[in-house]
Amino acid sequence: MTTAARRFEGSVAVVTGAGSGLGAAAAERLAVEGATVALLDRDLRAVAELADELPHATAHEVDVTDAVAVDTVIDTVAARHGRIDALVNNAGVVGPQVPVHETTDAIWSTVMRVNADGAFHVLRATLRTMVAGEGGAVVNMASSSGLSGKPNMAPYSFSKAGIVGLTRSAAIEYAARGVRVNAVAPTAVRTPLVERHIQNAPDPCAMERLVTSQTPIPGLPTPADVAGVVAFLLSAEAAWITGLTVPVDGGYHAT
């Protein structure tokens, strides 16, 4: 990994969904650049193993759909370190891939509770800490599926489009209070989440071909590719960027 500098030396960062994929890659990037990182995930074993590999990291078990649990863990991190400087609001699920007319209330509710409610719970709790301190920076995890329609993914697309709107609103509300709020919108990335999405599709082989050929830059980005953009948006180099959703999509939205 090539890094520009240790841009987060002395900073405290929170990463949700840090047990694997994009969350783990973002946590690793921030840690390499000097941050103390609180790793949050439903899978305590996964984040505990990652915490052991990083220089300054702690592992915390939390279900982001539980607002009280989120408030508790964010308060715990803030009390332990004195502040929170950065948030990667990443925890999310895709859900089953079915047409709208076959989407059950249970499917819709499960995706909304994690991707919409969960992201809101984490953002709200962290903003309370940031505005009470010296501000900070947030990156919410949106998706290219929230910027354009994708078949058989209505709940996911709806939730990720909501992340874009939440990002814009929060950016405006908190700009004068020293908090920047941006989002990244990756195309499919070779993560366990995307692997499950491919395997759960009605035709996994067709889905594999689709996700690797849908962008002008062929193939799939790596989690580290996305983590580099996340780190930039959280850094002081992006001090005048807020309210932006950055596609990490190989040119998909340029077509």
CATH among 1.25.40.10, 3.40.50.300, 3.30.70.20, 3.40.50.720 for 12-187+222-243: 3.40.50.720
Given a contact cutoff of 8 angstroms between Cβ atoms, the answer to whether 219 and 212 are in contact is yes
Q: Which of 8, 156, 232, 252 is catalytic?
A: 156
Give pLDDT, residue 201: 86
Q: What gap in Å lies between CA 255 and CA 249, rounded to an integer? A: 11
Give pLDDT, residue 4: 53
Given a contact cutoff of 8 angstroms between Cβ atoms, the answer to whether 166 and 114 are in contact is no
Give pLDDT, residue 2: 46
Question: For the chain, how big is the Rg over CA atoms in Å?
Answer: 17
Opening angle at CA 188, ends 137 and 191, nearest 5: 80
59 forms beta bridges with 39
pTM value?
A: 0.93
What are the angstrom distances between the C-alpha of 59 and each of 27, 62, 117, 167?
11, 10, 22, 26
Residue in 164, 130, 136 with CA at minimum distance from that of residue 233: 136
Which of the residues in the chain have pLDDT under 70? 1-4
156 included as an active-site residue = yes
